[in-house]
Amino acid sequence: MNTRILQYLDEPERYFIFTPDELVAVVAPLAVLTLTVNFVVGLAAGAGAFWLLRRLKKGGSLSKLMWAAYWLLPSRTFGLKKTPPSDQRLLVG
């Protein structure tokens, strides 16, 4: 059995050198743009998305990014049932 012991308790899971969210940010633009446009354009977009995600995650977790997504994207994006829609500014009570 191949068991990996983490060096630190809060060390995130990694695939190659990427965390799961970084892997998605790199592979999705790379795959889509390679099929539609060009490999070099996809590689540049994947590298740009990786750099932007690392910059947004710097100094904290993804909570800031999730907060911005909740307020800026349409309310149907997350499908949250316990929270009010983000476009509803005035609440009763």
> If you write DSSP's letter for every residue of 5-52 in order, what string do you get?
PPSSTTPPP-BTTB-HHHHHHHHHHHHHHHHHT-HHHHHHHHHHHHHH
Q: What is the pTM of this model?
A: 0.55
Q: Rounded to 5 degrees, what angle do the CA atoms 73, 76, 80 make?
A: 105
Q: How confident is the model at residue 44 (pLDDT cuts 50, 70, 90)?
A: very high
Fill in the DSSP letter of residue 66: H
Q: Specify the higher pLDDT residue, 79 or 18.
A: 18
Based on the number of CB atoms within 10 Å of its own CB, is 27 exposed (0-12), middle (13-18) or buried (19 or more)?
middle
What is the SS3 assignment for 68? Answer: helix
Per the model's pLDDT, the better-predicted residue between 71 and 36 turns out to be 36
Per-residue pLDDT, 21: 81
